Amino acid sequence: MKLRKGDRVRVIAGKDLGREGVIMRVLPAKNRVIVEGVNVAKKHQRPQRATMQAGIIDKDMPLDASNVALVCGSCGGPTRIGYRFDANGKKVRVCAKCRGDI
C-alpha cells in the first residue's frame, strides 16, 4: 500500500466524491484507509463508564484505498505515486505527474 498516515487525499469514487481530507489511519490488511471528515456514519453510543458520553456520535468509517488519490503538494491535484532512489540509496515517493518529491 502506497498511502501513509498523514497524507492528504481526495476521494475519487463513492458518495463523498471530490472531498479532501487527511488519512488518520491505514488498514493494510484490509486495503482500507480512514480519512478525517469523509465517510462519516452516525453511531448510537451507550455510556460504558462514568466519564464516557452517551448519545449519537459521528464516526469516520473506512474507505477502500482504491477510492482515494494522493494530492500532490506542488501540482495541487490528485495523482498516482511512483518511487525513485535518492543519492543515499533511500527510497523516495514521487508524484507521477510532476516528478516532485512527496
Residue ranges covered by each domain of the chain: 8-44+56-95
Q: Are 46 and 21 in contact (CB under 8 A)?
A: no
pLDDT in tens, the chain (102 residues): 899 999 999 999 999 999 999 999 999 999 999 999 999 999 998 888 776 778 998 999 999 999 999 999 888 889 999 999 999 999 999 999 999 998
Strands 55-60 and 63-64: unpaired
Q: Are 79 and 73 in contact (CB under 8 A)?
A: no
What pLDDT shows up at residue 54?
A: 86
Q: Report CA-CA distances (Å) from 71 to 33, 37, 77, 81.
A: 15, 16, 5, 10
Q: Are 45 and 57 in contact (CB under 8 A)?
A: yes
- Tell me which CATH code domain 8-44+56-95 carries: 2.30.30.30
What pLDDT shows up at residue 48?
A: 81
What is the reported pTM? 0.86
Closest Cα to residue 13, out of 73, 83, 91, 65?
Answer: 65
